[in-house]
Every structure is written in C-alpha cells, then in structure tokens.
Amino acid sequence: MTQTQFERLDAFITRTMARYGVALLRVSVGLVFFWFGVLKFFPSLSPAEDLAARTIATLTFGLVQPDLSLPVLAAWEVLIGLGLITGRFMRATLLLLFVQMLGTITPLFLFPQETWTVFPIAPTLEGQYIIKNVVLVSAAIVIGATVRGGDVVADEDLAQMAHERYRQQHSLGLAQD
C-alpha cells in the first residue's frame, strides 16, 4: 500500500467514524440504560439492585422504600434508554441521565465500606461498577453537544474554522450559549 493509498483509506475511515460515531455512541449508551433498567424490573437480576435501593432509601431519609424505588428507577433507566435509542426528546433524556448519574455516584460516599477496599484508590467491584459511569457521563456530554445541530467533523480545516468562529462570537458576546 502506498502512502497516498494509506492516506485515502485513513481519511475514509476517519470520515466514516465522524459521520456515524455519535449515533452509534447514542444507541449503544441507550442499549446499556435500557438493558440495565429492564433488569431492575425483575427481582434479583440486577447486581446493583440492593445498593440502589439502599441509596434511594438513605437519600430520601427512608421515605422511599425498595418496593417503590426499584420500579421507578427501572422505568427511569428504560426511559433514558429509549430516548437515546430513538434520538427523541434528547434534552429531557439527557437531563434524566445526568440526574440519575448524580444519584448513582452517591454510594461511593454513603457506603464507602462497600464501594472501596482502600479509599480512594482501590474500589470494590460495586465501586468499579459505579466509577465506570464516568464514561457514560462523558458519552452523554458528547451526545449533548449535538442536540442543537452540532456535529463531529473529520476535516481539520472545517474544525479550525468552527473553533475560530466560536471564539469570535464568544469574544463579541454573540455566542448563544
């Protein structure tokens, strides 16, 4: 393969990733939420079920018990999943996701004996399950960046022009943030 052929192949692959990457990310994160949410509808299928129920009970000062919290959490996660999979109601879907993620990290602080073997460097399996959510939050941020029509581009010149345009608008107070 010559250098020119390699560069054309590389450019094609990069453009393809830019074109489909965010949609694939959105659907794959949606499938994770949908799947994990469905599991919570069936007692003892979700490994996070007990910790989630105790977290919600603690955060609500015992007002919301597992017989209510688990079906609500399951429906919440399924709703997030469906929103991401379909690409509909993205602002509301991402809001639900971010609120759910805030609740998800609280066991790291509420139940450190169950989430860390050595705080804060060695998480338990449950702690690892929670910490991996930083990837889901990052994915949601990328997805959220496209809600108003933004996109990933595989062209360095276009990207630079967009960054420059944003900087100019922001410095003039014209950016619509």
Q: Environment class of residue 125 by beta-carbon count within 10 Å: exposed (0-12), middle (13-18) or buried (19+)?
A: exposed
Are 21 and 152 within 8 A, CB to CB? yes
Which letter does DSSP use for residue 123 in this model? E
Question: What tens digit of pLDDT does each residue of 84-108 get?
Answer: 999 999 999 999 999 999 999 999 9
Question: What tens digit of pLDDT does each residue of 111-124 get?
Answer: 999 999 999 999 99
Question: Residue 154's pLDDT is what?
Answer: 87
pLDDT band at 176 (very low <50, low <70, confident <90, very high): low
Question: What tens digit of pLDDT does each residue of 60-88 get?
Answer: 999 999 999 999 999 999 999 999 999 99
> What pTM value is reported for the model?
0.88
